[in-house]
């Protein structure tokens, strides 16, 4: 669990090193701080869970970063008629920044067209969460997971001969 230390957010182990009291200017002392949005999405993640990967209206993106061990599964459920993402969920094994990036990604894709969600960039997620440079790979995983989920959904539809682009051409 991540907690606040004064006006800064710190990991619980740091608090004991600091004598359990808030420390002004903590960032200047070299401690790594987490933005309140990261802490919020870590402590209260949105849309945790999974859908049936065999459901034809579900796309699954599974991505990982071997360097740090983070693994992210993001799934989208698409309304066949409108092509909009009606629901999204995730399961992530990783640090607080990876969990927060996954949570934000699921919130951002809901209610949007697939063409729109593939334009979501890791830099937008990183900026929203105020991720430090050392944690940018977490937002990159979220971007990759979104794209992989869309690609999986489109591959399922193409296999069934019912791709969204074919439907749009028919209309």
In terms of C-beta distances under 8 Å and separation of at least 24 residues, what long-range contacts does 79-87 make, across chains too? 80/162, 83/113, 83/114, 83/164, 83/167, 83/168, 84/111, 84/112, 84/113, 85/109, 85/110, 85/111, 85/112, 85/113, 85/114, 85/117, 86/110, 86/111, 87/47, 87/51
Tokens matching residue 85: 């993402």
Closest CA to 95 of 51, 120, 129, 50: 129
Q: What is the pLDDT of residues 82-99, one digit of tens each?
A: 999 999 999 999 988 999
| DSSP summary character for residue 84 | B
Calculate the CA 161 to chain-centre distance. Answer: 30
Confidence of residue 1 (pLDDT cuts 50, 70, 90): low
68 tagged catalytic:
yes
Phi-psi region of 117 (alpha: psi -120 to 50; beta: other; left: phi over 0): alpha
As a whole-number percent, the residues of the chain with pLDDT over 70 amount to 75
95 tagged catalytic:
no
pTM across the whole model: 0.75
Q: Which of 98, 138, 142, 145 is catalytic?
A: 138
So what's the pLDDT on residue 44? 87
Confidence of residue 163 (pLDDT cuts 50, 70, 90): low
Q: Which of 18, 48, 62, 68 is catalytic?
A: 68
Q: What is the pLDDT of residues 97-128, one digit of tens each?
A: 999 999 999 999 999 999 999 999 999 999 99
So what's the pLDDT on residue 164? 54
């Amino acid at each position: 669990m991540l907690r606040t230390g004064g006006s800064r957010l710190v990991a619980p182990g740091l608090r004991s090193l600091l004598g359990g009291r808030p420390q002004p200017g903590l960032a200047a002392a070299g401690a790594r701080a987490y933005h309140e949005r990261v802490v919020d999405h870590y402590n209260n993640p949105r849309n945790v869970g999974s859908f049936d990967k065999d459901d034809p209206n579900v796309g699954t993106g599974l991505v990982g970063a071997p360097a740090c061990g983070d693994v992210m599964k993001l799934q989208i459920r698409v309304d066949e008629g409108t092509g909009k993402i009606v629901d999204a969920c995730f399961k992530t094994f990783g640090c607080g920044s990876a969990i927060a990036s996954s949570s934000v990604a699921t919130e951002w894709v809901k209610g949007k067209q697939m063409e729109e969600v593939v334009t979501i960039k890791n830099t937008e997620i990183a900026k929203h969460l105020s991720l430090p440079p050392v944690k940018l790979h977490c937002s990159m995983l979220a971007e990759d997971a979104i794209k992989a989920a869309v690609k999986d959904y489109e591959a399922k539809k193409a296999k069934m001969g019912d791709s969204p682009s074919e439907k749009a051409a028919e209309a």
